[in-house]
Chains A and B, each alone.
Chain A
């Protein structure tokens, strides 16, 4: 049933003309569940957290200890991500396992200046999930493609690294008004269409969309902020 989603839902949700367009792109959820908001860490947590970016670079050098540390931290969180998106316990375990094996295999392609470890591992898990449930692909650009239009002006490495800093992003998320944070969470973790989010929260569809828009505008602004 799950793999039918991608192919059938878009056609089904083609609705009346007044329905705002973007909600139709979303596929329907296959399981509704309540999102429990994990305890927020204070946004001023000192930066003594383990350096996962460095650990991931060590894995590229085939460092098993670094891999074990990454596994202990990320595998249970990947499992949680898969469970929230509707996997059974055994599927979630398998996908988390597969994601971590992929992390080992592709670690030499990881560039800490482009993405935080958590971002890079998230994209691996996301793509595995799409592959597993839809038998489809998640097409992505090729950063080395000669046809790619480069960033202009070229961003300084330090600036890119700052924008990708996991702690800064968590802090930016924590600073969002709860109503915006909730909608962003539901977008990533509940597989709900924007229409379904609006029904679940009993707010107008336009409000869901504007909250997503506002949330990402705020996050980007706080990452641009040099302070």
Chain B
């Protein structure tokens, strides 16, 4: 599995980065933004700047008095031995090679690519739903066989797709590792995995997909997308 490091071409909206920094995004969107920033130094710098703005605004806020004993209470709490925090189960690969799935995504998936249990999605495609809190939006890993299309679909809401491995082409645009495609309900599209390597993506949607083929629509309720 090759990992290329070259500048990411397609980024999430600046507004999405700001909302991530402000803490306004639901967990699944945040997962995608955080994973993208692991692969994209430019967006990482933008998030840092936005967080610094959050810090500056917080510091500028008109202070509201704490209760008289607040500091004493805090000091009493830090006296107490800390609750043992169990370290997160390491999802790192044992070998010395860099994992394909960056953090925080690797933690959500439970392991790097080698250790994943894919579920069949039809037409050779596979997926793994990820747990990101209740309800919408939902996040999943998708694996599309090299050279094959994702079944053509529209969206009832937003869909963000980030490539982790391989690449796909949608109309004339190529999306490779780290690239994010944003699609809303006005778009019906049919991304196609590039030949040579399966394409693995993180896909986040805020509403069920709307598949065009009867077969896809029939199986949809059973595969939970």
Residues of A within 8 A of B (CB): 6-11, 14, 17-18, 21-27, 36, 38, 41, 64, 67-68, 71-72, 74-81, 83-84, 92-93, 96-97, 100-101, 104-105, 114-123, 125-127, 129-130, 134-142, 145-152, 163-164, 166, 169-170, 173, 184-185, 187-189, 191, 194, 209, 212-213, 216, 219-220, 223
Contacts and interface: CB of A to CB of B under 8 A. Distances in A.
Residue from A18, A97, A173, A187 having most chain B Cβ neighbours under 10 A = A187
23 contacts: A6-B27, A14-B157, A22-B16, A25-B16, A25-B158, A67-B78, A71-B71, A80-B62, A81-B61, A93-B70, A97-B70, A100-B74, A116-B55, A118-B52, A118-B56, A119-B48, A147-B39, A149-B5, A169-B52, A184-B57, A187-B19, A187-B24, A216-B49
Given A23-B15, A123-B54, A147-B38, 20 more contacts: A11-B135, A25-B15, A25-B158, A26-B24, A80-B58, A83-B64, A84-B61, A93-B66, A105-B78, A119-B56, A122-B58, A129-B23, A145-B103, A147-B100, A147-B103, A149-B40, A173-B53, A173-B56, A173-B57, A216-B18
Interface stretch (B144-152, B181-189, B212-220): B181-189
Contacts of A129: 23
B56 A170 contact: yes
Interface in B62-86: 62-67, 70-71, 73-75, 77-78, 82
A10 to B, nearest CB: 4
Given A22-B16, A170-B59, A220-B46, A146 B75 contact: no
Nearest to A79: B64
Contacts of A71: 70-71, 74
Given A104-B78, A136-B26, A146-B99, A75 B55 contact: no
B166 interface: no
A6 B134 CA distance: 8
Given A97-B74, A118-B59, A166-B59, A141 B25 contact: no
Contacts of B182: 21
B125 to A, nearest CB: 24
A96 B66 contact: yes
B174 interface: no
Interface in B141-192: 156-158, 178, 182, 184-186
Contacts of A97: 66, 70, 73-74, 77
A67 B70 CA distance: 13
Interface string B5-38: 1000000011110110011111101110011011
The 10 tightest CB contacts between A and B, nearest first, are A7-B135, A76-B63, A17-B186, A118-B55, A119-B55, A122-B55, A142-B103, A147-B102, A14-B157, A126-B23
Interface string B188-225: 00000000000000000011000000000000000000
Contacts, number: 275
Contacts of A101: 74, 77-78
B32 to A, nearest CB: 9
Given A21-B184, A22-B13, A120-B55, A150 B41 contact: yes
Given A64-B75, A141-B104, A169-B55, A14 B156 contact: yes
Q: How large is the interface on B (under 10, 10 to 19, 20 to 34, 35 or more residues)?
A: 35 or more
Contact of B55 (A10, A100, A121): A121
A96 B74 CA distance: 10
A145 B38 contact: yes
Given A119-B55, A142-B104, A7 B26 contact: yes
Contacts of B99: 145-147
Given A7-B133, A11-B206, A148 B102 contact: yes
A146 B31 CA distance: 18
Nearest to A181: B57
Nearest to A171: B56
